[in-house]
Amino acid sequence: MLINGIMRSLGDLDLAYKGELTMNEAMETLEDNIRLDRVPPQWKKIAYPSERALISWTENIKARIDQMNLWKDDPTKIPKVVFINRLINPSSFLTAIKQVFCRETMQELNKTTIQTDVLKKMYYEQDLPELRKTDGALVFGFQVEGARWDINSGLEESLPKTSFSIVPVVQCRTVPLTDKEDKTVYICPVYKTIDRMMTYVFPAQLKTKYPPAKWVIAGVAMVLDVPGAADLFAPGKEPAS
C-alpha cells in the first residue's frame, strides 16, 4: 500500500510537470517536502511511524523490503537473526515467540512474558548460538537512548555528545510471569521511534550494576527506529559503534 501510494503520487507529479495534469495543492505539498528532505504528509498517513528525513526514510524502506524478500524467497528457512527495527509491527513478532513456546510447553499465553538476554555479539551469523525451537529468537536493531550499553557491565552513563548506544544481538525468549523483583535488572521500555508517544512496543530487561531507579529518573529507553543509524545494520556486517 505504501509503495503504491508513493508511486501513484510521484506519477501524478510527473504528469503535472509535463502539463498533462493541473498542479494542485497536494502536488505542491509533495514537491515542497521532497525539496526539503521531508517525508510528505500524504505518505506519512499510510506509512509506519518514523521520524526520519526523506532520504533516510527511503533507505529504511528498502532495508525493510530486503528483509521481507529474504523470507519470501525461502519461506521454510528460519532466519538466524531478525532485524526487529525493520518490522512494521514488532509486537506481533514477539507474540509469535510466545505462541511457539506455549504450544510446545502447553502453557497459557497470558501467563508468560518476553525475557531479553543481551549477548556479547553484534552481528556475525557464524558466531551466534544455535537455538532450540522453544528458545525464542535472536533479534537485532535496539538502541539505548539516555545511557550506554557496555558488553561487560550492562547499562552505563552515556558518552559525551552521544545520545544513542547500539545494543548487541538480543535473545528474546518466553518465560513465565513472576512478581519477583530483580534489583540487577532495569525494566526498559522499548519504543518504535524517538518521539516515543504512541509507539510503545514492550518492556525489555537490561542488566545494570546501578539501582534501576537511576535509569528511571534519566528516562532511559530503547528505540527501534533511530534516524540515520539503523540502516547501517546490514546482514553479514557489524554495525558501526
Please check the confidence at residue 237 and state whether its pLDDT lies above 50.
no
Residue with cell 539516555: 146
pTM of the full predicted structure? 0.89
The amino acid sitting at 42 is: Q
Please check the confidence at residue 172 and state whether its pLDDT lies above 50.
yes
pLDDT tens track for 175-197: 999 988 899 999 999 999 999 98
Please check the confidence at residue 168 and state whether its pLDDT lies above 60.
yes
Task: Give phi and psi for 18, each to the nearest 5.
Answer: -80, -5
The predicted pLDDT at position 96 comes to 94
For the record, the C-alpha cell of 87 comes out as 518490522
CA distance 230 to 85: 8
Which numeric CATH code is attached to 78-232? 3.10.490.20
> Which residues, at least 6 apart from 24, have a Cβ–Cβ distance to it below 8 Å?
16
pLDDT tens track for 36-50: 999 999 999 999 999
Q: Using alpha carbons only, what angle is made at residue 189 by residues 184 and 190, rounded to the nearest 5 degrees?
A: 125
Give the start-to-end residue ranges of the domains of the chain.
2-47, 78-232
Mean pLDDT confidence for 224-238: 60
Measured CA distances, 179 to 126, 137, 204, 240 (Å): 37, 24, 16, 38
pLDDT tens track for 73-88: 988 887 889 999 999 9
What are the b/e assignments for 150-189, b being 16+ CB within 10 Å?
A: eeeebbbebeeeeebbbbbbbbbbbeeeeeeeeeebbebb
CB 222 within 8 Å of CB 145: yes
